[in-house]
Amino acid sequence: MTELALNEHILVRKRYTRYCWMDFVRHAIIWVVSCVFITGNSPASAATVQDPVIAIHNADMEMNQGRYMEALSILQETIETFDNAGDSVDDWIKQRAYLLSGNIYLAYNDFVEALAYYEKALSYPVGDNDLRLFLLQNITVASCFTNNKNRAEEANRELTLLTVPDSLFHKRRYDYAIGRAFIEKYFGSSRNAASNFRRSLEIVDSTGLNRRELATPLSELYEYYDRIGDADSALYYLVRYDALAQEFLIPQMMADSRRGLLRTYIKFGDKEKALKAYESYFDIMDSLYRPALFISLNSKFQRNTLERANEKIENLEIKISAQNMTVFILVSIISVIIIILCVNKYISRLKKVIFSKNEEIVKLEETAGISSDNSRDREMMDKIEDALSDGSLLFDPNLGLDALARAIGSNSKYVSSAINRSKGMNFRSFINKLRIDEARKRLVDEDGYGHLTIESVGESVGFRSNSNFITAFRQVTGLTPSVYLKMAREERQHNTAPK
Longest dimension (CA), the chain: 88
At residue 11 the predicted structure's pLDDT band, cuts being 50, 70 and 90, is very low
- 83-97, 155-169, 265-279 — most confident range: 155-169
pLDDT tens column, 453-473: 999 999 999 999 999 999 999
Q: So what's the pLDDT on residue 36?
A: 46
Torsion of CA 146, 495, 444, 425, to 10 degrees: -80
Q: So what's the pLDDT on residue 147?
A: 93
Whole-number mean pLDDT of the chain?
Answer: 78
At residue 9 the predicted structure's pLDDT band, cuts being 50, 70 and 90, is very low
**How many C-beta neighbours within 10 Å does residue 73 have?**
18
The residue ranking higher by pLDDT, 79 or 361, is: 79
Q: Which residues contact 234 (CB under 8 A, 6 or more apart)?
A: 222, 223, 225, 226, 264
85 and 66 Cβ atoms separated by less than 8 Å: no
Q: So what's the pLDDT on residue 19?
A: 43
**How many C-beta neighbours within 10 Å does residue 359 have?**
14
Q: So what's the pLDDT on residue 173?
A: 93
Instruction: Say how far apart CA 449 and CA 10 lie, in whole Å.
Output: 27
Q: Which residues contact 379 (CB under 8 A, 6 or more apart)?
A: none
Instruction: Please determine, for residue 355, whether its predicted confidence score (pLDDT) is greater than 80.
Output: no
pLDDT tens column, 290-315: 554 455 455 555 555 555 555 555 55
Q: So what's the pLDDT on residue 319?
A: 54
Go through the domains of the chain in sequence order and give each one's CATH number: 3-302 (1.25.40.10)
Instruction: Say how far apart CA 384 and CA 381 lie, in whole Å.
Output: 5
Q: Which residues contact 186 (CB under 8 A, 6 or more apart)?
A: 144, 145, 147, 149, 152
- Compute the half-sphere exposure of residue 11: CA atoms within 13 Å on the CB side of its CA: 11
The number of residues making up the chain comes to: 499
- Between vectors from CA 43 to CA 39 and to CA 48, what angle results, nearest 5°? 140
Instruction: Say how far apart CA 211 and CA 454 lie, in whole Å.
Output: 52
pLDDT tens column, 231-271: 889 889 999 998 998 888 777 777 788 888 887 878 778 77
At residue 430 the predicted structure's pLDDT band, cuts being 50, 70 and 90, is very high
Q: Does residue 368 come out as left (phi exceeding 0), alpha (psi in the -120 to 50 range) or beta?
A: beta
R_g over Cα of the chain = 28
Q: So what's the pLDDT on residue 370?
A: 46
Share of the chain above pLDDT 70, in %: 72
Exposed/middle/buried for 466, CB within 10 Å: 0-12, 13-18, 19+? Answer: middle
Helix 481-496 × helix 427-444 angle, to 10°: 40
What is the model's pTM?
0.49
Q: Which residues contact 292 (CB under 8 A, 6 or more apart)?
A: 20, 23, 24, 26, 27
Instruction: Say how far apart CA 6 and CA 13 lie, in whole Å.
Output: 11
- 93-102, 277-286, 303-312 — most confident range: 93-102
